[in-house]
Amino acid sequence: MSLTATELSEPARVLASRLVRVLREEYKDGLRDRRGVDRLLSLWSLEVEKLPAAEARRLLGAIRPLARGYASMAAGERQHTLVEVGQALGRLAGEAPRGQPSEQAEGPKAGKAQLRLDSKVDYVKGIGPPLAKRLVKLGIWTVEDLLTHYPRRWEDRTQLRPISQARDGVVETVEGKIGNIQSKTPRPGMRIVQATLSDSTGNLQLVWFNQPYVAKQLIPGQKLTATGKVERRFHETQINAPEIETGAERIHSGRIVPVYPSTSNLTQKWWRQQQWRIVPTYSRLLPELLPSQTVSRHGFMPRAEAVTEYHWPSNYDARERARLRLAFEELFMLQLDVGMQRQERERDPRQTFYTQGDLAEFEKLLPFAPTGAQARTMREIWDDLQRDTPMNRLLQGDVGSGKTAVAAFAAWVAVKNGYQAAIMAPTEILADQHYRKFVELMGPAGIQVGRLSGSMKKKEKLSVCEALREHTLDIVVGTHALIQETVDFARLGMVVVDEQHKFGVMQRTVLKQKGLNPDLLVMTATPIPRTLALTLYGDLEVSRLDELPPGRQPILSESVPFSERRRVYEEIRGQIRAGRQAYIICPLVEESENLDATSAVEEASVVQREVFPEFSVGLLHGRMKAAEKDAVMERFRIGEHQILISTTVIEVGVDVPNSTFMLVQDANRFGLAQLHQLRGRVGRGQHASRCVFMGDANSEEGQRRLRAIARLADGFDVAEEDLQIRGPGDFYGFRQSGFPELKVADLLKDQELLDLVRVAVRELLARDPDLSGHPDLRDSLSKRRVDSTELVH
């Protein structure tokens, strides 16, 4: 094959990367061809033929034959086909071809450390800039990042299996002598290398597709170990693409071997070879962070040893002890951070004082009577305001439970007592909507409400800023724009952060710093189990709106396959004829983003032209200008558009009670929490609402999600199911909440450990409140804080 690196035009490059994405998904899905690679490829080829440049058509046109007949290939062949196509595409896109990793690993012992922990991985022997670039995708920049790039799992290859006992379908390690080596070319473009491996009990075939260089590495009579999945067919036993290892040193076999999270064709063999050298050498440079009392009390192994054992366990018991130590340390840093913040908070007493705030008076402003849960939460807030230290309260309430009214109460009390309030929302649409509501609610009481968002004209922004400084504005509602340096308040006493899981910890802190040690109310529809909340937010008090406003009808949810599209459209028609409105949600903005998911732009034109020519269809997505978004939202709000086709930009907060129908297209592409948030856009008024999740789930997990969302109505149940399906590592909200990713600890399984950690942190802070006796620990903690600040800006 002789495709050379070429300058491809932009459309051709886009096409190439679309195919890469499809192939990658196929790979991740276990080469099961459930979405029909042949079909996708022929669709793709049609696009290729439309390319204007003949050269690009020729180059991309050469790709398809490489994978023709995918459906009828065996798994091993599929894998090699994908790799081959991927490499060909990579060459087209001008990517440097992957260098073969060196076959010789250095010793298992620690070598001489030439670099520092914070040295860039570019300088690590055997990595270099091109590979370093790929490692960035895994969040690896420095030597220290490599050390903490822990295995995803381990394979027990301590047992070498006699060849005659190698089990079909199982990954086994066998040891033997190489016999006959053959190279075949069964059809153009396919080379097969096959070698016989035998031991005293029998023999099997080692097979490689399109890796001709393997033939050169093999020597008849050579002794080696081979690891891979055994396939028994007819009378033959074979291992496809085995990992082989020669020589005395065992890195890939004869031990418990690590399996690393990987990317971009970096093989496990490559990973092991790197980590075999790096881990013992550089883990010695890691400072001991845990106080010595803690280490000895729990009988922990030293940090360097724990890191080494976790990568390269001498046995499973040692690995578990290493894991405990590393998990303890992770949770310890987390709790220490929270503990230090609490200390700081408590050192700073309240500077605002509340005497006025009659709940009955506020209620008069509301167009409805508060629910029991809303009233209780408002009283809790009032009580917080009477304490010596500022309020730090988390309000959890399912979508539609009425958090905005509670936020309005907090802001109103602040204003009543002569302070200003700031409300921060994650999107402009939501900020706008809150602004409107606050004006409606507070205007009659003579309270001045302003708005600040990134898309406003500079002049408008300046005048809002001035009004805040002069205290001619009482309340400001805005987006991230609120935390900019130019925004100053005269007397900021209350900060409310809506949908706080969309913000980082630092953003909250920055906004708070603009005030008189203000009270803080953060709100979220993401229910978090209490123990997790404690870890995440330390000493936040938690209120729950566990009651929906009266008169709500349950949202009838259903998951349906694409084939029922017509019926769903008819249902939408019926709703609109009855005076209601509908949302249609699509995962993407434009068709070009993916081969087989519906895009909002395309969908809007099809739905308007072919499905609902009699109605007005609006389109909303994240790439539109703020003013355009506002205009569309407004037309939908006042009922000019009957249907709104949107991406997930409307996921949070949007409130148009007359919209009672939601159709989520490609629902299998969304996470459970996101589906629940989306569904929360309907069922907000007096009319019965419907939500239809349409999609053909192509994985078991996807199916489980679709079933769950149709069955579960309550946010807490959804959260629980999400936790079950995904595991806490991916539990939604964590990443966005500025919560550092846990590499070893598991917040659900390590609850007991967490209790021990809390005790240890409390004792340490009692002994050494500013950590002056633990400089390494203090440095490491402040470095973590710097890291999370960088994420925010």
Between CA 608 and CA 134 the distance in angstroms is 43
684 binds, among ligand ADP, Mg ion, none (CB under 5 to 8 A by kind): ligand ADP
Is 549 one of the binding residues for ligand ADP (CB under 6 A)? yes
Q: Which residues contact 202 (CB under 8 A, 6 or more apart)?
A: 162, 163, 164, 237
Single out the segment in contact with ligand ADP by CB under 6 A; choices: 50-58, 69-77, 135-143, 403-411: 403-411
450 binds, among ligand ADP, Mg ion, none (CB under 5 to 8 A by kind): none
* Residue 644: its H or E element: strand 643-646
- Binding residue for ligand ADP (CB under 6 A) from 275, 352, 401, 646? 401
The closest of 550, 555, 571 to 709, measured between CA atoms, is 555
Single out the segment in contact with ligand ADP by CB under 6 A; choices: 335-343, 402-410, 589-597, 748-756: 402-410
668 binds, among ligand ADP, Mg ion, none (CB under 5 to 8 A by kind): none
557 binds, among ligand ADP, Mg ion, none (CB under 5 to 8 A by kind): none
Other beta carbons within 10 angstroms of residue 787's beta carbon come to: 10
Is 683 one of the binding residues for Mg ion (CB under 5 A)? no
655 binds, among ligand ADP, Mg ion, none (CB under 5 to 8 A by kind): ligand ADP
> Smaller CB distance to ligand ADP: residue 319 or 403?
403
Single out the segment in contact with ligand ADP by CB under 6 A; choices: 315-323, 356-364, 380-388, 395-403: 395-403
549 binds, among ligand ADP, Mg ion, none (CB under 5 to 8 A by kind): ligand ADP
Is 521 one of the binding residues for ligand ADP (CB under 6 A)? no
- Binding residue for ligand ADP (CB under 6 A) from 396, 404, 575, 660? 404
Residue list 643-682, contact with Mg ion (CB under 5 A)? 653
DSSP characters for 354-411? -----HHHHHHHSSSPPPHHHHHHHHHHHHHHTSSS--EEEEEE-TTS-HHHHHHHHH
SS3 285: helix
SS3 756: helix
> Smaller CB distance to ligand ADP: residue 158 or 658?
658
- If binding means CB under 6 A, how many residues of this protein chain bind ligand ADP? 18
- Binding residue for ligand ADP (CB under 6 A) from 275, 374, 420, 598? 374
Amino acid at 87: Q
Measured in whole angstroms, the distance separating CA 772 from the mean position of its chain's CA atoms is 36
639 binds, among Mg ion, ligand ADP, none (CB under 5 to 8 A by kind): none
405 binds, among ligand ADP, Mg ion, none (CB under 5 to 8 A by kind): ligand ADP
Is 258 one of the binding residues for Mg ion (CB under 5 A)? no
* Residue 132: its H or E element: helix 128-136
Q: Minimum distance between the CB of residue 536 and ligand ADP, rounded to whole angstroms?
A: 20
Between CA 20 and CA 15 the distance in angstroms is 9
587 binds, among ligand ADP, Mg ion, none (CB under 5 to 8 A by kind): none
Other beta carbons within 10 angstroms of residue 590's beta carbon come to: 12
Q: Minimum distance between the CB of residue 664 and ligand ADP, rounded to whole angstroms?
A: 18
C-alpha atoms less than 13 angstroms from C-alpha of 194 in its C-beta half-sphere: 14
Is 371 one of the binding residues for ligand ADP (CB under 6 A)? yes
Rounded to the nearest 10°, the torsion over CA 238, 244, 246, 250 is: -120
- If binding means CB under 5 A, how many residues of this protein chain bind Mg ion? 1
The closest of 565, 542, 148 to 327, measured between CA atoms, is 148
- Binding residue for ligand ADP (CB under 6 A) from 399, 425, 483, 495? 399
Is 657 one of the binding residues for ligand ADP (CB under 6 A)? yes
Answer yes or no: are the C-beta atoms of 475 and 495 closer than 8 Å.
no
Residue list 339-368, contact with ligand ADP (CB under 6 A)? 368
Is 375 one of the binding residues for ligand ADP (CB under 6 A)? no
The closest of 533, 525, 427, 526 to 477, measured between CA atoms, is 427
Between CA 781 and CA 793 the distance in angstroms is 19
581 binds, among ligand ADP, Mg ion, none (CB under 5 to 8 A by kind): none
Single out the segment in contact with ligand ADP by CB under 6 A; choices: 7-15, 296-304, 398-406, 659-667: 398-406
Rg (CA), the chain: 30
Q: Which residues contact 332 (CB under 8 A, 6 or more apart)?
A: 289, 290, 294, 757, 760, 761
371 binds, among ligand ADP, Mg ion, none (CB under 5 to 8 A by kind): ligand ADP
Answer yes or no: are the C-beta atoms of 359 and 379 closer than 8 Å.
yes
> Smaller CB distance to Mg ion: residue 493 or 653?
653
Is 405 one of the binding residues for ligand ADP (CB under 6 A)? yes
Parallel/antiparallel/unpaired status of strands 659-664 and 581-585: parallel
Answer yes or no: are the C-beta atoms of 788 and 740 closer than 8 Å.
yes
Site string for ligand ADP, 442-481 (x = CB under 6 A): ----------------------------------------
Q: Minimum distance between the CB of residue 75 and ligand ADP, rounded to whole angstroms?
A: 47
Site string for ligand ADP, 673-712 (x = CB under 6 A): -------x---x----------------------------
Q: Minimum distance between the CB of residue 151 and ligand ADP, rounded to whole angstroms?
A: 41
Amino acid at 406: V
Q: Minimum distance between the CB of residue 791 and ligand ADP, rounded to whole angstroms?
A: 26
Q: Minimum distance between the CB of residue 437 and ligand ADP, rounded to whole angstroms?
A: 8
The closest of 723, 612, 767 to 292, measured between CA atoms, is 767
> Smaller CB distance to Mg ion: residue 653 or 738?
653
> Smaller CB distance to ligand ADP: residue 405 or 505?
405
Residue list 575-594, contact with Mg ion (CB under 5 A)? none
> What does the H/E/C string look like for 143-203?
HHHHHCCCCCEEEECCCCCCHHHCCCCCEEEEEEEEEEEEEEEEECCEEEEEEEEEECCEE
Single out the segment in contact with ligand ADP by CB under 6 A; choices: 284-292, 397-405, 561-569, 633-641: 397-405
400 binds, among ligand ADP, Mg ion, none (CB under 5 to 8 A by kind): ligand ADP
Between CA 195 and CA 223 the distance in angstroms is 12
Q: DSSP character for 116?
A: -
Q: Minimum distance between the CB of residue 536 and Mg ion, rounded to whole angstroms?
A: 20
497 binds, among ligand ADP, Mg ion, none (CB under 5 to 8 A by kind): none
Answer yes or no: are the C-beta atoms of 433 and 405 closer than 8 Å.
no
C-alpha atoms less than 13 angstroms from C-alpha of 35 in its C-beta half-sphere: 21
Between CA 626 and CA 430 the distance in angstroms is 12
370 binds, among ligand ADP, Mg ion, none (CB under 5 to 8 A by kind): ligand ADP
Answer yes or no: are the C-beta atoms of 435 and 411 closer than 8 Å.
no
Residue 112 is encoded by which pair of tokens? 């001489």
> Smaller CB distance to ligand ADP: residue 516 or 678?
678
The CA-based angle 204-28-722, given to 5 degrees, is 130
Single out the segment in contact with ligand ADP by CB under 6 A; choices: 335-343, 369-377, 588-596, 750-758: 369-377
Is 400 one of the binding residues for ligand ADP (CB under 6 A)? yes
Answer yes or no: are the C-beta atoms of 153 and 168 closer than 8 Å.
no
> Smaller CB distance to ligand ADP: residue 303 or 637?
637
Q: DSSP character for 284?
A: G
598 binds, among ligand ADP, Mg ion, none (CB under 5 to 8 A by kind): none
Footprint on this chain of Mg ion (rule: CB under 5 A): 653
Footprint on this chain of ligand ADP (rule: CB under 6 A): 368, 370-371, 374, 397, 399-405, 525, 549, 655, 657, 680, 684
